[in-house]
Structure 1
Amino acid sequence: MILEAVMLQVKEGMEAEYEKAFCEASKIISSMKGYISHDLQRCIEEEGKYLLLVQWESLEDHTVGFRQSNEYQEWKKQLHHFYDPFPIVEHFERVDI
């Protein structure tokens, strides 16, 4: 399992519209092969800042299966116009200690 972590900055005044759009777009990502779960968190200290965490079975399920799909084009259409600046996506794996 890998964890996709994305810090999102939504344009000022668009937060409510973004949350509604994200709820709708969630249907897209949750239908993808290798998808496990996702969680969107709103920052308390900074308005318009969100943290998106998505669990995937493998890195390729996200980077190839989702990112190179027609469904991703719809995801982009629904959500990417809300972001400024465009977010950086990072991937993490669990450390067994």
Structure 2
Amino acid sequence: MVIEIARFHVAPEQHKAFFNTFADVKTYVEQAEGYQSHIISREIEDPSRISLLVKWRSYADHVELFEPSKAHQMFINALMPFITGEVEVFHFNAALTSTGGEK
């Protein structure tokens, strides 16, 4: 499993519209080959940043199948009016991570 982290800078007055639009277009991601789950939220340290974490079956499912697709284009185009600056995207291999137990 691979986790994608996408960070968006969104002006605070645009947050409601951004999240409403995300709710309208999230099905493009949810229906993608290899999609497993996602979480989206404002960051605590910088509330003008919104982070989207998506669990994918594999890196290829995200980068080779979803990113070049029309579904991705429609998804990102719907969100772009609310985003300022570059979108940061990076991945990590969850199989190679170490986790602790919950208390």
TM over 0.5: yes
Shift of 1:81: 2.2
Give the number of equivalent residue pairs. 97
Distance in 2, matches of 1:58 and 1:9, equals 26
Structure possessing the higher radius of gyration over alpha carbons: 2
Stretches of structure 1 that go unaligned for 5 or more consecutive residues are none
Shift of 1:85: 1.1
Superposition map of 1:4-83 within 5 A: 4-83=4-83
Indicate the RMSD between aligned Cα atoms, in angstroms. Answer: 1.5
TM-score, with structure 2 as normaliser = 0.85
Distance in 1, matches of 2:77 and 2:26, equals 13
Distance in 1, matches of 2:9 and 2:79, equals 12
Identity level (%): 27
Stretches of structure 2 that go unaligned for 5 or more consecutive residues are 99-103
Decide which structure has greater helix share.
2
Distance in 1, matches of 2:13 and 2:29, equals 25
Shift of 1:40: 0.2
Distance in 2, matches of 1:61 and 1:18, equals 25
Shift of 1:96: 4.8
